[in-house]
């Protein structure tokens, strides 16, 4: 089944993603919607689209459009879902699912009531490096064994000053952790499971012109006592260092750049490199999963609930950073 998908919100990240998926013409016909018709027309021209709309409602109401992929600020996500559901359209929505758990729950309920699919566009769930790490942890590479997971370390430091709606804690739902850090939360959850507790510290703010935090250090206790740490910062004065994932097992260690195409696998005797295909952010696998979930009439793997689980951890980290206390978590339920 070929799916018609309207890209809604012609901003920065939509352009990046379309660069990676525009040629998937066996699976998709792309429409584009913007509050400014000339932007939608330009994106349609740049990425081989089949049509353009100058208003989101117009796109949602058009019978040719089967699904909507939203790339808009976080305070608009709930309204996006209301709009799509009102017109019976399937929904792919950029991360984070929402700013609060109440918003996320409402979105899931609205989609369910309307009988449409709701998927969160968390592309890190579809990274081939993470898939390969999970495979190695389960099976062990040839001749090696990872053993039992002990520790997860995620390091994602860089320097950039949030702009426009991202400077508003209200519109963004927080600072850099809910925006970019949530990807690393998703890797942690995907690999190590849902945390029993988290503790977080917010370092002194460098980007004082923005309302939300510019960095968070979070530790988490995962099932089985596995220890996890995420160092996420957009105020580390460096040029560029690769973001890193380190997974330590009782018998070996795996290290990789999430958006890279190789993993280092080592134990006390040997170190080797395992390659995976070029990742293209995982977005090709992600949109394919959305299409297949519609075709097969099943819940997408990165469901609204999965997005809510990621969000709940981010919000627990915020609570901990605010109070200084360890926050115990209970899993969000459907
Ligand atoms: N997965 C990832 O790695 C990743 C990376 C970056 C961003 N994202 C996510 O993608 C979404 C969009 O982020 P972005 O970086 O593309 O943002 P952006 O460049 O600011 O674009 C957002 C677009 O949303 C539309 N919009 C609708 N209501 C708006 C409002 N009140 N204020 C401003 N824009 C409004 C605008 O499109 P029109 O003018 O065309 O209507 C705008 O161009 C967010 O959910 C973000 O978290 C994900």
- DSSP of 202-245, one letter per residue? PPPPS-TTSSS-SEEEEEEEPGGG-EEEEEEESB---S----EE
Query: Is residue 297 situated within a structural domain?
Result: no
pLDDT band of residue 242 (cuts 50, 70, 90) is confident
pLDDT for 138 equals: 87
Residue 248's H or E segment, with its range, is strand 244-249
pLDDT, one tens digit per residue, over 215-239 is 999 999 999 999 999 999 999 999 9
Is residue 23 situated within a structural domain?
yes
Quick check: is 300 in a domain? no
Within 6 Å (CB) of ligand 1, which residues are found?
9-14, 34-36, 39, 71-74, 76, 94-95, 123, 164-165, 179
Same domain for 159 and 220? yes
Last residue of a domain, one of 76, 103, 122: 122
Distance 12 CA to ligand 1 centre (A): 7
Neighbours of 255 (CB within 10 A): 17
In which residue are the tokens 């850090």 written?
181
103/151 same-domain check? no
Pairing of strands 244-249, 197-201: unpaired
Give the pLDDT score at 280. Answer: 85
Domain shared by 211 and 78, yes or no: no
Are residues 134 and 257 located together in one domain of the fold?
A: yes
**Stretch 242-256: mean pLDDT:** 95
**52 found inside a domain:** yes
> Could you tell me if 67 and 192 lie in one domain?
no
Q: Residue 184: its pLDDT value, please?
A: 98
Mean pLDDT over all residues of the chain?
A: 96
pLDDT tens digit string along 35-82?
A: 999 999 999 999 999 999 999 999 999 999 999 999 999 999 999 999
Centre of ligand 1 to C-alpha 282, Å, is 19
Main-chain dihedrals φ then ψ at residue 163, nearest 5 degrees = -125, 165
* pLDDT at res. 7: 99
| pLDDT over threshold 60, residue 142 | no
**Where does a domain end: 95, 122, 149?**
122
Name the domain count of the chain.
2
pLDDT for 334 beyond 80? no
Identify whether residues 88 and 148 lie together within a single domain. no
What domain range is 273 assigned to? 125-282+312-328
Same domain for 129 and 118: no
Query: Model confidence over 84-140: pLDDT tens digits?
Result: 999 999 999 999 999 999 999 999 999 999 999 999 999 999 999 999 999 999 885
* Nearest atom in ligand 1 to 179's CA: 47
- 64 and 189 inside one domain: no
Last residue of a domain, one of 70, 98, 122: 122
Q: State the DSSP string of 50-77.
A: SEEESSHHHHHH-TT--EEEE---GGGH
Please tell me whether residues 132 and 268 are part of one structural domain: yes
pLDDT at 140: 58
Q: What is the CATH number of the domain that holds 103?
A: 3.40.50.720
* CATH number (domain holding residue 176): 3.30.360.10
Task: For residue 290, tell me if it sits in a domain.
Answer: no
196 C-alpha to ligand 1 centroid (Å): 32
Q: Is residue 66 a part of any domain in this protein? A: yes
Sorted by sequence, the CB contacts under 8 Å of residue 82 that are 6+ apart come out as: 110
Which tokens hold the place of 195? Answer: 């945390």
Q: What is the pLDDT of residue 145?
A: 79
Predicted confidence at residue 248, as pLDDT, reads 97
Q: Which atom of ligand 1 is nearest to the CA of 75?
A: 31
User: Are 144 and 59 found together in one domain?
Assistant: no
Same domain assignment for residues 186 and 75:
no
Q: Is residue 230 situated within a structural domain? A: yes
> Are 219 and 115 contacting, i.e. CB atoms less than 8 angstroms apart?
no
Cα gap 193→178, rounded to integer Å: 19
**In-domain check, residue 288:** no
| Cα–Cα distance for residue pair 238/257, rounded to 1 Å | 17
Among 6, 8, 11, the mutation site with the greatest number of ligand 1 atoms within 8 A of its Cβ is: 11
| pLDDT > 80? residue 143 | no
Q: Give the pLDDT of residue 211.
A: 98
CA of 230 to the centre of ligand 1 (A): 25
Confidence of residue 333 (pLDDT cuts 50, 70, 90): confident
**166 CA to centre of ligand 1 in angstroms:** 10
User: Chain-centre distance of CA 39, in angstroms?
Assistant: 25
| Cα-to-centroid distance, 73 and ligand 1 (Å) | 5
9 shares its domain with 139: no
Residue nearest to atom 21 of ligand 1 (CA): 11
Confirm if 303 and 90 have CB atoms less than 8 A apart. Answer: no
């Amino acid at each position: 089944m070929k799916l018609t998908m309207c890209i809604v919100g012609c901003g920065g990240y939509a352009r990046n993603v379309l660069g990676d998926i525009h040629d998937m013409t066996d699976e998709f016909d792309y429409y584009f919607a913007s509050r400014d018709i000339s932007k939608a027309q330009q994106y349609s021209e740049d990425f081989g689209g089949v049509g353009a709309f100058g208003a989101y409602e117009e796109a949602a109401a058009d019978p040719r459009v089967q699904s909507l992929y939203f790339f808009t600020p976080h305070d608009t996500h709930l309204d996006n879902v209301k709009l799509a559901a009102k017109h019976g359209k399937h929904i792919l929505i950029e991360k984070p699912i929402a700013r609060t758990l109440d918003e996320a729950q409402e979105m899931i309920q609205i989609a369910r009531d309307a009988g449409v699919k709701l998927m969160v566009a968390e592309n890190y769930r579809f990274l081939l490096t993470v898939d390969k790490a999970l495979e190695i942890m389960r099976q062990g590479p040839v001749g090696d064994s990872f053993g039992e997971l002990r520790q997860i370390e995620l390091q994602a430091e860089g320097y950039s000053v949030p702009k426009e709606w991202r400077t508003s804690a209200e519109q963004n739902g927080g600072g850099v952790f809910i925006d970019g850090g949530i990807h690393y939360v998703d890797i942690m959850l995907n690999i190590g499971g849902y945390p029993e507790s988290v503790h977080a510290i917010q370092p002194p703010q460098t980007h004082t012109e923005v309302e939300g935090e510019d960095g968070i250090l979070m530790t988490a206790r995962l099932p089985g006592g596995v220890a996890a740490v995420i160092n996420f910062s957009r105020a580390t004065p460096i040029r560029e260092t690769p973001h890193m994932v380190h997974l330590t097992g009782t018998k070996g260690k795996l290290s990789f750049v999430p958006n890279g195409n190789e993993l280092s696998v080592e134990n006390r005797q040997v170190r080797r490199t395992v390659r995976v295909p070029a990742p293209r952010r995982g977005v090709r696998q992600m949109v394919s999963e959305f299409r297949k979930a519609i075709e097969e009439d099943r819940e997408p793997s990165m469901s609204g609930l999965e997005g809510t689980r990621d969000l709940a951890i981010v919000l627990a980290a915020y609570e901990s950073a605010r109070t200084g206390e360890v926050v115990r978590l209970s899993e969000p339920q459907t």
